[in-house]
Chain A
Amino acid sequence: MGRIDPRELIGRYGTAIAGLALILFFLIFAQNFASATNIVNVLKDTSFLAILALGFALAFTVAELDLSVAEMASLAAVVCGWLVHAQYPPAVAVMAALGVGVGLGLLNGYGVTVLRIPSLIMTLGTAAIAKGLAFMITQGVAFVGRWPVGFTGLARGYSFGIPNLVLWMTGATLFAWGLVKWTKTGAHMVATGEADEAARLAGIATARMKRIGLLLAGVFASLMAVLLAANLSSAAPNMAGDYLLYAIAAVLLGMTMFEPGKPNVPGTVFAALVLKVLGNGLVLLGAPYYVQDIVLGAIIIGSVAFSASAMKKAAFKV
């Protein structure tokens, strides 16, 4: 039995402990925070952010930044809403939306690995294209309607007494975690992200791993888009744009816990939950909107600073 180093413990779990303390704080001080309705609402709200952030984290695992995830999601939602609104079967609409994610994910992968465009630039370009297409399809006017329960139920329904959104989030989390932790592909993705050249020399198809990471970011974005459109019974051209910064924040915050310095699945999901708890809790406390932004920014900076020593030790730098 080796001795536990408190500094290492803080580096690994400090942010998670702070997150739990935050939840405890709201449990004590925010009226109705612990009500069943509110907890379900927070979990549902977390699901969208968590799914999108997981996609971003998978791309980040192969050391690629996908800044198009939010706009891809907006376009996928628009395509989905467009088809549902035109009374196509929900399955067709869902497949088309997923097709958008797959198509744009493949495009990002092609641009980064074949055309050698840095992912930051490539995905910014893809984001602009996706945004333009979303506005072209909608002409700026959201698709809204009384959509079939077969579609809206994907997000609004319950299975076995659990909200479907929570089940989708759980499924996405298990898939991502299982992929990274227990498959050869996942191990190769991690190796590619940590030391691209060394992985290539070891015989890993690093370009393929990068394409898989970016493809998964697109798939997760489009899954989130389908759920978002189903939950709101509407699809607007900018409906997911707001999520990009929060997704990045969730991944970066997630990198300060469990596996400090590395993008990781449980950290990302827990960070998404913390961010949503923070927003919800501050509303329940009656804090004005600008206070929420200030607190959110400070918590992100503080959390990362808190685990800075662990981040420095890690091979994967932010």
Chain B
Amino acid sequence: MLVAAAALVALGQPAGAFEVGIIGFQFTSETHARVANAAAAAAKARGWNVTLLNSEGALPKHAEQFDALIAKKVDAIIIAMGKPVEADAQFKAAKDAKIPVVTVQSGASPHALFDIQSNEYKIGADAALYLLGQLGFQGNILTARFDLNVASRIRGKILDVVLSENQAVKEIGKFSMARTQSWRDDVRAGMQALLLQNQGKVNGIWVSFDGQAYIIDDLLQAQGVKKGQIPMVSVDGGQESYERIADPNSTFMATVSIPFEEMGKQAVDAIQAIAVDKKPKESVTPGPYLFVDAVLVDKNNVQQFLKK
């Protein structure tokens, strides 16, 4: 019965319409969901049939879903935060089947059209230099890292480079997050311990992504820390981040905002141009990447980003 119901839902999609398969690698990561959902919404707005899939962070499942979309003979595939190297066989199979593939924040694949992405090296530099600027290039910082994620790891490595050139700023403690289901609890417990251990010595906090920053912000607020006393900077963006940046009671100072929704929409626009309008790929981007700008958001420009 349920399968039949699912079939009816699926069969309710317009017959003969352009069909796109969208795979998000891990929807429990908000950014993956933001890209995939935005792409799905943009595709539906064009009247396309959409198959939206979540690989749940599992590479074997990711490969299976990719294979199934190829077998389904969809007209195009969009992959959010995929693994072009690990899933090389599937990318190649899609190319052999003449199915155009656009990736987002995944890295380039010789078998895909291109990868839409923000430059994480630049993002890392923007975040690190903003924080050091807030400190006057001297003082002690704590860091909340996530080295199991490529983007977060790059940001952390860039911070290390910046710190190596600015030795008056010292990293006096760091918490490295594991990829667990209970990561929020882990971050809370870990940072609580670091803050206790370094009470009175912390001048700033660097955070690898906004999800961690919300937890640390709550901790700092509970300890009575006021905005600007311990500047905290992070990366990702989103309404929750903007609201905290605008909130005088929050310690969240700035984020480097990556336009995830825009990237999802751009993937659909690119498919429209190349697969539907038959324009050359070079009309969208000449190389393996289509870079999008990430914007540093702080009190000076946050009002532009807040939903009215």
Given the contacts A25-B3, A32-B72, A38-B68, A283 and B53 also touching, CB distance less than 8 Å: yes
Distance between Cα atoms of A271 and B254 in the complex (Å): 51
Q: Is A41 touching B85 in the complex (CB atoms < 8 A)? A: no
Q: Given A241-B58, A299-B2, answer yes or no on A32-B71 (Cβ-Cβ < 8 Å).
A: yes
- With CB as the reference atom, state the residue of chain B lying closest to A288: B52
**Cβ of B61 and Cβ of A286 under 8 Å apart?**
no
Q: Does B64 contact A (CB under 8 A)?
A: yes
**Contact of A286 with B49 in the complex, beta carbons under 8 Å:** yes
Contacting residues, chain B, for A48 (C-beta < 8 A): 60
* A window 126-154: CB within 8 A of B: 135, 139-142, 144
Bound CA–CA A30/B4 (angstroms): 11
Q: Are A139 and B3 in contact (CB under 8 A)?
A: no
Assess whether B72 is in contact with A283, with CB atoms less than 8 Å apart: yes
Instruction: Decide if A287 is an interface residue (CB 8 Å cutoff).
Output: yes
Query: What residues on B are CB-neighbors of A291 within 8 Å?
Result: 6, 9
CA distance A295 to B10 in the complex (A): 14
Q: Is A305 an interface residue, CB under 8 A from the partner?
A: no
CA distance A286 to B6 in the complex (A): 9
The residue in chain B whose Cβ has the minimal distance to the Cβ of A138 is B148
**B69 surroundings in chain A (CB, below 8 A):** 283
Q: Which of B31-76 contact A (CB under 8 A)?
A: 49-54, 56-61, 63-65, 67-73
Tell me whether A140 and B179 are in contact in the complex, defined as CB-CB below 8 angstroms, given that A283-B72, A284-B71, A298-B2 are known contacts.
yes
Decide: A242 and B61 in contact? CB cutoff 8 A. yes
A147: min CB distance to chain B, Å: 11
Whether, in the assembled complex, A170 has its beta carbon less than 8 Å from a beta carbon of chain B, the answer is no
CA distance A291 to B5 in the complex (A): 10
Q: Are A233 and B88 in contact (CB under 8 A)?
A: yes
On chain B, the residues within 8 Å of A30 by CB distance are 7
Residues from chain B with a CB closer than 8 A to the CB of A22 are 3
Q: In the complex, how many angstroms separate the beta carbon of B48 from the nearest chain A beta carbon?
A: 11
- Of the listed stretches A207-215, A259-267, A274-282, chain B binds A274-282
Sorting the interface of chain B by its residue count into under 10, 10 to 19, 20 to 34 or 35 or more gives 35 or more
Q: A238-B179, A294-B2 are in contact. Are A289 and B53 (CB under 8 A)?
A: yes
A283 x B7 contact (CB < 8 A):
no
Docked Cα-Cα span, A59 to B115, in Å, equals 45
- Give B178-206 interface residues, CB cut-off 8 Å to A: 178-179
- In the complex, A17 has a CB within 8 A of chain B: no
Residue interface bits B1-33, CB-to-A below 8 A is 1, else 0: 011101101110100000100000001000000
Q: Is B240 an interface residue (CB 8 A)?
A: no
Is A183's CB within 8 Å of the partner chain B?
Answer: no
Is B63 in contact with A282, judged by CB distance below 8 angstroms?
no
Contact A287 B6 (CB under 8 A): yes
Complexed CA–CA distance, A279 and B58 (Å): 14
Q: Which residue of A lies closest to B68 (CB)?
A: A283
Contact of B147 with A by CB under 8 A:
yes
> Would you give the 0/1 interface string for B251-277, flagging 1 where the beta carbon is closer than 8 Å to chain A?
000000000000000000000000000
Which of chain A's residues have a CB closer than 8 A to the CB of B56? 242
Please name all residues of chain A whose beta carbon is closer than 8 Å to the beta carbon of B11 when the two chains form the complex: 29, 285
CA distance A239 to B83 in the complex (A): 13
- Report the Cα distance A135→B7, complex, angstroms: 40
Contact with A along B84-99 (1 / 0, CB 8 A): 0111110000000000
Known: A32-B71, A32-B72. A280 touches B51 (CB 8 A): no
The total number of A-B Cβ pairs within 8 Å is: 122
Asked if A140 and B148 sit within 8 Å, CB to CB, the answer is: yes
Residues in chain A near residue B63, CB distance under 8 A: 231-232
Pick from B7, B50, B53, B67: contact of A41, CB below 8 A: B67
State the Cβ distance, A296 to closest chain B Cβ, in Å. Answer: 9
Flag whether A269 is at the interface (Cβ < 8 A).
no
Q: A22-B3, A232-B63, A242-B61 are in contact. Are A286 and B51 (CB under 8 A)?
A: yes
Complex Cα distance, B87 from A286, in Å, reads 21
Partner of B68, one of A41, A139, A140: A41
Contact B59 A236 (CB under 8 A): yes
Is A287's CB under 8 angstroms from B60's CB? no
CB pair A31 B72 closer than 8 Å: yes
Are B59 and A232 touching (Cβ within 8 A)?
yes
A78, CB-defined interface residue at 8 Å: no
Across the interface, do B85 and A285 meet the contact criterion of CB distance under 8 Å?
no
CB-CB under 8 A for A282 and B71, given A232-B60, A232-B63: no
Within 8 A of A (CB), among B141-187: 147-148, 178-179
The docked-state distance in angstroms from the alpha carbon of A285 to that of B51 is: 8
Q: Are B86 and A233 in contact (CB under 8 A)?
A: yes
Whether the Cβ atoms of A234 and B86 lie closer than 8 Å is yes
CB pair A239–B10 under 8 Å, yes or no, is no
Report B90 CB to chain A, min CB distance, Å: 10
List of A residues within 8 angstroms of B59 by Cβ: 142, 232, 234, 236, 239
Choose from A35, A232, A236, A288 the contact partner of B71 (Cβ within 8 Å): A35
Among residues of A, the one whose C-beta sits closest to the C-beta of B70 is A37
Identify the 4 closest CB pairs spanning chains A and B, nearest first: A140-B148, A242-B58, A38-B71, A286-B10
User: What are 6 pairs between A and B in contact, CB < 8 Å?
Assistant: A25-B3, A45-B60, A45-B67, A239-B59, A288-B53, A298-B2
Residues of chain A having any CB pair with chain B under 8 Å = 22, 25, 29-32, 35, 37-38, 41, 45, 48, 135, 139-142, 144, 156, 228, 231-234, 236, 238-243, 276, 278-292, 294-295, 298-299
Beyond A140-B147, A287-B7, 6 additional contacts (C-beta under 8 Å) are A35-B71, A41-B71, A45-B67, A238-B58, A239-B59, A283-B68
